[in-house]
Structures are given as C-alpha cells and as structure tokens.
C-alpha cells in the first residue's frame, strides 16, 4: 500500500465515507504501528473539534431577511403576494361610504322636490288672489 | 455540522404545515455556512448576505417541491453557486467563477487545549499548512469537514470526479499529518478493494 492510499483511507474514515472493510483494514494497520498513535489521535481530535458557533450574526440576518420578505409582500402565513391591510381603516372607510350615500340620497330627494316645486308654482300661492289690470277702470280678479 | 436528515424534516414541516418556526430554524442552521460559501465566490459580504436571503425566499416560494429532494444540502449549495454565478455574469466578473479563484475561509481548525495535546509550534505549523493548501484542496476540505457534504455531493457541486475529491482530501490530511511528524512510508500490505462511488 502506498502512503497516498493510507491517507485516502484515513480521510475517508474521518469524513464517514469508509466502508466496513476499509475501516477494519485501516484499524489493523494503525494498531500494528504504535508510533503513529499520537499523531493519529491528534488528527482525529482536530477533525472533530469545532469552535462554538456565534448565533447573534444569524439572528440579525434572519431579522433582516424577514423584513425583506415583508417588503416584497411575501407572507409567511402561506398567502404569498397578498397585500396586508389592517382592518381599522377599512371600517372607517366603510362608514364614510355610508354617510356619503345617505347625503347623496337626501340631496337627490331635495332636488326632486325642488324640481317638482318649480313645475307647480301655484302651490306656494294657492289661495292668493291676483289682480290684472287691462285698461284703466277694468280689473280682472284671478283665483288660483 | 448540518446533515441531510434534519434538514429534510424541517423542509417537510415547512411544506406541509407552513411551519414558520421550522423555516426560521432552517435559516439559522444554514445561513452562516451558505453565506461563507457565497462570499468565497462573490468576495462581498453584502452580496453574499443578499444571496442567502434570495435563496431562502426561493425556499419558501417553492416549499412544496423541496420535500422530494434526495440531498437538500447539495440543493442549497448548488443553488447558492448558481445564484452567485448569475451575479458574476451580470457584473461581467465571470473570471472569478473558477474554484481556483474562490476566497475560502477555513474556520474550523480550532485548538482546544483541553482536548489536543499539541505544542505551540505544532499548532503554528498546522495553521500554516491549512493556509497554504492549494485553493481547490482548501474548498474541498472545507465542504467536507465544515459543511458536512459527502464526497459524492462535493464532486457534483464542483463538477469533479469522486476520485479527485478522495485525492484532494488525502493531500490535506497528509499535510496536517506532516506537522505531527507522521510520515507514512511505503507499506507491504495489500489494500482492500475500495468501494466504487
């Protein structure tokens, strides 16, 4: 076996890629070379050692990411591309619609009444007596 | 180190239950690694951050399709690579696309004095050996050791053969072994038939 093959097998062992047969072969070889033990153990420990992860950077990034999704109107509720509008202003808007509609109806009624009033001006002067002078001395009395 | 099975479980929770907590957990699990990977290609922290955000928006939008993926880790890294390459293309920086040009940060060589029985000189040599790894060897070592990708996944991601990954990993470990005076001479032992990947 070449030294390259040893390192291929050893790196496969560390990364969990070695077969059972390869592992058994490697172990028997390492055991037959006690002078390797120290280095092999240190390499194995070095491979396994991991620095503690700093989660604060990830938390900041997550906050920015969620803010960005919100800006793009992507909702995490599963309703993508839905524009979020709070219910408060909608209710107020509805009230204004109703008020405007009532005013319009009232204005409409008023104008109909006014129009109908102008077509029968006699209503306002009902009961009044009008006089028309035709020539001096002749007076015609009109009753509405 | 992230593994495929927990990621699959999180993806299933996101897809079938719109689970926001699972989505946030997945982001926290992969954000740092994917950002470093994207940074190695783009060489810009800001762009790498935006790329990871783009990737996770895609995850949410395509969540229904992601549950059938055999290797989610490979999917995340491949998507990050493709998004980074698209950005380089838009910026007419394609010359940075080759792995030899990537700026790889190795941060898992961590010396715990309670665990490792090493001299200061040995630690210095190991740091130097890591820093002097050839670029391709460095990225492969990082993807296997820190990011938890399998040889086959690294080969697919970098479009190399599995044998190349094996050889590059052997180079990295041999250099580290040298720092510990571990020199393997030619041995008169026949090797077992290595499994074909």
Contact A7 B57 (CB under 8 A): no
pLDDT tops 80 at residue A53: no
Q: How many Cβ atoms from other residues are within 10 Å of residue B94's Cβ?
A: 10
Q: Do B115 and A45 touch (CB under 8 A)?
A: yes
- Please state which of the four CATH numbers 2.120.10.30, 1.10.1740.10, 1.10.10.60, 3.40.50.2300 is assigned to the domain occupying B4-96: 1.10.1740.10
Q: Do B182 and A25 touch (CB under 8 A)?
A: no
pLDDT in tens, A68-114: 999 999 888 765 444 333 334 444 445 566 677 777 878 777 777 66
Assign domain B104-108+116-179 one CATH number from 3.40.1160.10, 3.40.640.10, 1.10.10.10, 3.40.50.720: 1.10.10.10
Is the pTM higher than 0.80? The answer reads: no
What is the structure's pLDDT at B57?
96
Question: What SS3 state is found at A78?
Answer: coil
Whether A1 and A26 have beta carbons less than 8 Å apart is answered as no
A30 touches chain B (CB under 8 A): no
B148 and B1 Cβ atoms separated by less than 8 Å: yes
> What are B144-173's pLDDT values in tens digits?
998 999 999 999 999 999 999 999 999 999
Mean pLDDT score of chain A, rounded to an integer? 74
**B-contacting residues in A 90-129 (Cβ below 8 Å):** none
Q: Where exactly are the structural domains of chain B?
A: 4-96, 104-108+116-179
* Structure-token pair, residue B160: 């190399």
Could you read off the pLDDT of A106-144 as tens digits, one per residue? 877 777 766 665 444 444 444 454 555 555 556 556 554
| Contact: A7, B184; criterion CB under 8 Å | yes
Each domain of chain A, given as residue ranges in start order, spans: 3-48, 86-144
Q: Determine the Cα–Cα distance for residues A15 and A10; give it in Å rounded to an integer.
A: 9
ipTM of the shown complex: 0.83
CB atoms inside a 10 Å sphere around CB B168: 24
State which residue of chain A sits closest to B61, comparing Cα positions.
A80
Asked if B145 and A15 come within 8 Å (Cβ–Cβ), the reply is yes
Sign of CA dihedral B153, B130, A34, A48: negative
Q: Which of B169, B171, B188 to mutate to test the interface with A (most CBs of A within 10 A)?
A: B169
């Amino acid at each position: 076996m070449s030294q390259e093959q040893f390192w291929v097998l050893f790196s496969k062992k560390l990364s969990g890629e070695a077969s059972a047969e390869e592992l058994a072969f490697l172990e028997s070889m390492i055991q037959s070379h006690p002078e390797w033990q120290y280095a092999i153990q240190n390499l194995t420990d070095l491979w396994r050692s991991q620095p503690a992860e700093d989660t604060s950077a990830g938390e900041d990034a997550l906050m920015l990411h969620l803010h960005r999704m919100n800006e793009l109107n992507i909702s995490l509720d599963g309703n993508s591309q839905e524009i979020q509008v709070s219910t408060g202003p909608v209710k107020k808007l509805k009230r204004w619609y109703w008020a405007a509609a009532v005013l319009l109806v009232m204005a409409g009624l008023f104008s109909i009444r006014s129009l109908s009033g102008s077509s029968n001006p006699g209503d306002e002067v009902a009961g009044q007596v009008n006089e028309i002078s035709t020539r001096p001395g002749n007076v015609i009395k009109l009753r509405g | 180190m992230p593994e495929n099975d927990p990621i699959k479980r999180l993806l299933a929770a996101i897809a079938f239950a719109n689970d926001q907590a699972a989505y946030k957990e997945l982001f926290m699990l992969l954000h740092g690694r994917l950002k470093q990977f994207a940074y190695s290609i783009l060489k810009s922290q800001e762009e790498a951050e935006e790329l990871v955000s783009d990737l996770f928006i895609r995850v949410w939008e395509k969540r229904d399709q992601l549950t059938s993926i055999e290797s989610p880790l490979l999917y995340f890294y491949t998507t990050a690579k493709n998004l980074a390459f698209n950005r380089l293309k838009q910026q007419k920086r394609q010359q940075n696309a080759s792995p030899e040009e990537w700026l790889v940060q190795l941060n898992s060589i961590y010396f715990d004095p309670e665990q490792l029985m090493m001299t200061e000189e040995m630690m210095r040599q190991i740091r130097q050996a890591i820093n002097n790894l050839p670029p391709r060897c460095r990225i492969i070592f990082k993807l296997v050791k820190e990011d938890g990708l399998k040889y086959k996944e690294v080969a697919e991601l970098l479009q190399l053969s599995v044998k190349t990954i094996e050889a590059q990993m052997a180079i990295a470990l041999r250099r580290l072994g040298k720092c510990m005076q571990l020199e393997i001479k030619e041995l008169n032992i026949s090797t077992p038939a290595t499994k074909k990947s």
